[in-house]
Structure 1
Amino acid sequence: MDITLFSAVYAIHLVSVILVALYGVHRLVLLRLWVGLRRREQPPAAELPDSLPLVTVQLPLYNEEAVASRLLAAVGELSWPKACLEIQVLDDSTDGTRSAVDEGVARLQAAGFDACVLRRSTRDGFKAGALAEGLEKARGSFVAIFDADFIPPTDFLLQTMPRFSSSEVGMVQARWGFLNDRDSLVTGVQALTLSSHFDIEHGTRYASGRFFNFNGTAGVWRKEAIVGAGGWTADTLTEDLDLSYRAQMVGWRLVYHGACVAPSELPPTLTDFIAQQERWTKGSVQTAVKTLPTLLRSPLAWRVKVEASFHLLGGLGWLAGALATVTLWPALMVHGTRASALAWIPGVAALSGSCGAIVFYYTVYALMERRSRHLLRYVPMLPLVCIGVAPFLALSAMEGLFTRHGVFHRTPKYGELKTGGQRRKGLADGATFGRALVAFALVAVTAPPLLFVLDTLAFYAVPLAMAVPAGYMLTGAILARESGVGRGASE
């Protein structure tokens, strides 16, 4: 290959790892802000008014047979006067969920609740369409939303509703808790990233006056804010993120209440996790394309615009990460050429980005969770998992740049199904096995650089050269197992 082509690939690699490093630096900036904000004395929460408002609880469901009954039972335990509570089950299901919903709603009605089931003939707009249709019929001035895999605590409304004491507050988001974070490496890594998302990202963005977002569940909206921001729309796959930014851009203030925790179920398999992240990645980039131009032209403070750009374009980090890994081998070939004086930059940049991210996530468990086993087990594995899933999410980021809408693929919920065999019954498909093959192929592509750096003593690239094939090997092994490869017939 001509050295000019090598240099071009090296340039792509260099830009990619610098973007990854920039992501790590951004993590550290958020962490520094968070540390400073923690020292501030928090104002006391406002009290509930004497006359409690009517709250509509919306439960959007689609084929959630394993968890629907559990959710309905939890909503029936909410500490809020029945006369001030309306329960809407927005059920688009086509399976046994319908029976579970009908039985659960009948029990709520028998207990004196104003509960109903709203069903549509088509899934137009997916979750956003269901929420919009339910909102048209909602009688409450406030709307609480829970996905099927959540178990709202009994005092959820007692904790969140006082935060609406100001008429400027349009939404209150609670923190997610995790029912199965200790089950596996996959759920442990997810809990690590989501904990930092809530504890540091949400907490810092909210407390510092930057934009943050509703997470689609475990939150309460003022109905007036939804309508005033243009309502639920389905032109992105992240209708929650889209509405959050539109609401803040027209002047509504969103509140994060991390002390209120709603337990939830994490996707227990890597297949489910990748599918969920593909939707979130594509949707966030779609939201960036839709809202960033208007936001950047607005008179908002520069710190708001900069943070919004990092937030909404974060999905492009997967694209940068994927490019950095697949261009590593040809990029290293510049070692010993005229470009070798710059050859150390990618290795240092990649290490800087990884270290910044690790410090960011380490802080969550070191200062917040205080669980040493999680620190030792999950923090070191985080870069490997991120490397392994990057190529799949990079494609979603690219789709988000050039396409609107898309199919909303639900994340499967398993409820009380504890065994791996039960969870994998619906996963042994071609897509999972195909992803495993892609990961193993990338191992073959990215393993030779390690031999090259050892042979040429290019030690600046050793960490990256070791981590990349290890990440793909880990991902391929997990996906192969989930697809059924190597399982006995008895399972």
Structure 2
Amino acid sequence: MLPTNPFIRYVARIFQKDPFRGLYHANAFDLSILIPYFTILIILSIYGLHRYALTWIYLRNKRNAPRPAGSFEELPRVTVQLPIYNERYVVERLLEAAAQFDYPRDRLEIQVLDDSTDETREVASRLVESLAAAGVPITYHRRANREGYKAGALAAGLEKASGEFVAIFDADFVPPPGALKRFVAYFTDPKVAMVQGRWTWINRHFSNLTEVEAILLDGHFIIEHGGRNFSGRFFNFNGTAGMWRRAAIADAGGWQHDALTEDTDLSARAQLRGWKFVYDPTIECP
């Protein structure tokens, strides 16, 4: 029996074996919140452990960063594909950067794969015409429809391509002049299907938001890609800033647009076929 004095009764309740007995009863509403909450918390905890594991794998294997097996006596023919869609604010920057590639022009082909529906068409076609007149091996391609979106554009361009190796850069990238030669060097190993460069950021210091986004993506490119590739595990092409062996694309079934992430899809199929992927974080592509 509880004492009548309120203060003594309060103290007695605190120090009893179950001080919260009778104060709360579970109900459907609370459970509808608590169950999803703790489920998500468990999933995030597992994800966090996964990140710790990747960090450990990276630190353990970071000295295993790949190096080219050799160099070509004669540089092979390379096709550069630049898929664009309504990129009027950055397309000029992209094409001007592509025109500066340090690669023999008689061994280079640049395809502008334009699926745009706005004034990007006029800007891109005019600049391609100007660059071609100046001797840049660049051509402009438009399709009658956008079937397959980016994957469809890459596949259509590949049908007309002449290169043994295919580099891909999205419209918001500014590939450095020496990127192609550095990518190509890894293909002296006949088992290599793809070489991925590291993304870097033109606007990293623009604001606090861009700083945070850059840090998060650095984690992906340094820790995830580095840990996986340096330890011999699968990793995927990121859709841009990389080069493929054309034969490997064909062997893996080509670009297919029945998946939302055509780059990851092709990466998985190629690696399951036994092809080797390489990640070189020193090839930086902003």
Would you call these one fold, judging by a TM-score over 0.5? yes
Higher relative contact order (CA 8 A, sep 6+): 2
**Residues 7 and 44 from structure 1, CA distance in 2 versus in 1: closer, same or farther, beyond 3 angstroms?**
closer
Q: CA deviation at 1:75?
A: 0.6
One of 15, 38, 44 as aligned partner of 1:14:
38
Aligned length in residues: 262
User: Does residue 257 of structure 2 align to residue 234 of structure 1?
Assistant: yes
Counterparts of 2:169 and 2:67 in 1: how far apart (Å)?
26
Name the CA distance, whole Å, in 2 between partners of 1:65 and 1:11.
Answer: 48
Alignment partner, residue 36 of structure 1? 60
How far did 1:111 drift?
Answer: 2.5
The separation in 1 between residues aligned to 2:26 and 2:35, in whole angstroms, is 12
> Where is the strand percentage greater, Structure 1 or Structure 2?
2
**Match for residue 164 of structure 1 among 169, 177, 187:** 187
In 1, the alpha carbon distance for the partners of 2:25 and 2:154 equals 56
Give the superposition deviation at 1:2: 6.7
Distance 1:15 1:180 in 2: 37
Can you give the 5+ residue segments of structure 1 that lack an aligned partner in the other structure? 264-491
Give the AA of the match of 1:15. T
Distance 1:44-1:172 versus aligned 2 partners, 3 A rule: closer
Residues 186 and 166 of structure 1, relative CA distance in 2, 3 Å threshold: same
Structure-2 separation of matches of 1:144 and 1:9: 49
Structure-1 separation of matches of 2:32 and 2:195: 48
Distance 1:44 1:203 in 2: 13
Does structure 1 residue 213 correspond to structure 2 residue 236? Answer: yes
Question: Structure 1's 63 and 42: CA in aligned 2 closer, same or farther, altered over 3 A?
Answer: closer
Which of 112, 124, 127 does residue 135 from structure 2 map onto? 112
Structure 2 unmatched ranges of 5 or more: 1-23
The alignment-based identity, stated in percent, is: 49
Cα distance change, pair 258–77 in 1 and its aligned pair in 2 (3 A):
same
Relative to structure 1, is the Cα distance of residues 43 and 24 closer, same or farther in structure 2, using a 3 angstrom cutoff?
A: closer
Cα distance in 2 between the residues matched to 1:151 and 1:8: 49
Deviation of residue 101 (structure 1)? Answer: 1.2
1:193 is matched by which residue type in structure 2? L
**Which one has the largest radius of gyration?**
2
1:103 Cα deviation after fit: 2.1
Partner of 1:80: 103
Instruction: Report matched runs for 1:310-349 at 5 Å.
Output: none
Change (3 A) 1:64 1:242: same
Q: Which amino acid aligns with 2:50?
A: H
Give the structure with the larger helix fraction.
1
Once the two structures are superposed, the pairs formed by residues 54-93 of structure 1 within 5 Å of their partners are 54-93=77-116
Distance in structure 2 (CA, Å) of the matches to 1:217 and 1:46: 23
Three-state SS of the structure 2 residue aligned to 1:3 is: coil
Post-superposition CA distance 1:289-318 (Å, at most 9, x none)? xxxxxxxxxxxxxxxxxxxxxxxxxxxxxx
Cα separation, 1, equivalents of 2:241 and 2:65: 22
Q: Determine the C-alpha separation between the residues in 1 that align with 2:59 and 2:166.
A: 33
Alpha-carbon contact 1:85-1:113 (below 8 Å) kept: no
- The normalised TM-score by structure 1 is 0.52
Is 1:191 the equivalent of 2:214? yes
Instruction: Kindly provide the amino acid, as one letter, of the partner of residue 155 in structure 1.
Output: G
Distance 2:97 2:165 in 1: 19
Shift of 1:11: 3.2
**1:151 and 2:149 matched:** no
Alignment of 1:303-314 (within 5 A): none
Query: Counterpart of 1:27?
Result: 51
Whether 2:145 is the aligned partner of 1:122: answer yes
Is the 8 Å Cα contact of residues 79 and 165 (structure 2) preserved in structure 1? Answer: yes
| 2:58 partner letter | W
Shift of 1:155: 0.3
TM-aligned CA deviation for residue 236 of structure 1: 1.8
Q: Deviations over 1:32-69 (max 9, x none)?
A: 1111112x365653342112111000000111111111
| Secondary structure of residue in 1 paired with 2:274 | coil
Change (3 A) 1:42 1:258: closer
